[in-house]
Amino acid sequence: MTVRSDVVARLTGRAVSGERPLSRALAEVTLDDGRIVVVKRSTEPGAARAEAAGLRWLAAAGSVRVPVVHGHEEGWLVIDRVPQGRPGREAAVRFGRDLAALHTAGAPAFGAPPPDGPVDAYIGQAPMRNEQGTDWPRWYAEQRVLPYLRRAVDQGTVRAGEAAVVERLCARLPGLAGPAEPPARLHGDLWSGNVLWGADGHVRLIDPAAHGAHRETDLAMLRLFGCPQLERVLDGYQEVAPLAVGWAGRVGVHQLFPLLVHAVLFGRGYAEQALAVARSALAG
């Protein structure tokens, strides 16, 4: 038995009958009762714990579906596999309604981690610290935008002279943020790859960087990376929790955080997008 199978057997309480690697970090494992689970291996300290806590916190809202979490230990996470379907209009509207309900389930503060989740978590492969705050513009600047801007400058992805445009945007955030809103319960890394369209017509979310934040950030990330049927998703969302006036003009402000994360992880192209978004928001 491999280490992976041994972990699965312990966390599911079932014997393993087969394995199929999907990548260096992912594999599908078949249990002796025919069910298939997905096993994820994380090398970053606390990443498996953070992901498990995030999935459970999202599930606790009773709205958007997530795969069942069987458990985690020492960098391993075991969840149910999601049989894949196709993006459809009805599923998209339903997902929008469910996402709105997830957000309105709320969080104790901006930056609040899930219960049992670590303060030092991750967004993708990048560290993400969940320091809490009560004022969104200040928190967003200090805990989400500026830490990744500094890292991008330190590694040369953003040139020192270019950082000023992002810093100016952060200084102007109180006037750009729109009406104040309570902390929402966010998925936190809501790009299209983390939105699974199930064969049963229901969307399931995976790989969260869950925390309390502004709900428009999740929606901005969906648009940034091209979610299928996005307009239908937004239709469903607006039915349940209408967005504040002017939300469409704030999309770039909310995209700045994921763009800078991607600049740190993947290089100059994302840095240029982040700088363009900052200039556009300031000009608007």
What is the percentage of the chain residues whose pLDDT exceeds 70? 100
* Active centre residues (catalytic): 189
The Cα–Cα gap between 167 and 213 comes to: 20
Segment 267-270 long-range contacts (CB within 8 Å, at least 24 positions apart)? 267/157, 268/157
pLDDT at 192: 94
pLDDT at 3: 84
pLDDT digits (tens, 9 = 90+) for 196-226: 999 999 999 999 999 999 999 999 999 998 9
What burial class does residue 156 get, using C-beta atoms within 10 Å of its C-beta: 0-12 exposed, 13-18 middle, 19+ buried? Answer: exposed
8 Å CB contact between 53 and 113: yes
Q: What is the pLDDT confidence band of residue 100, given thresholds at 50, 70 and 90?
A: very high
pLDDT at 1: 65
Q: Is the pLDDT of residue 48 over 80?
A: yes
**Which domains, from first to last, does the chain contain?**
5-80 (3.30.200.20), 89-283 (3.90.1200.10)
pLDDT at 2: 87
Q: What is the pLDDT confidence band of residue 10, given thresholds at 50, 70 and 90?
A: very high
What's the whole-number average pLDDT of the chain? 96
Q: Tell me the average pLDDT across 227-252.
A: 97
The Cα–Cα gap between 122 and 209 comes to: 6
Q: Is the pLDDT of residue 31 over 70?
A: yes
DSSP-assigned states of every residue in 115-146: TT--SEEEETTEEEE---BS-HHHHIIIIIIH
Q: Tell me the average pLDDT across 36-61.
A: 96
Q: Tell me the average pLDDT across 169-198.
A: 97
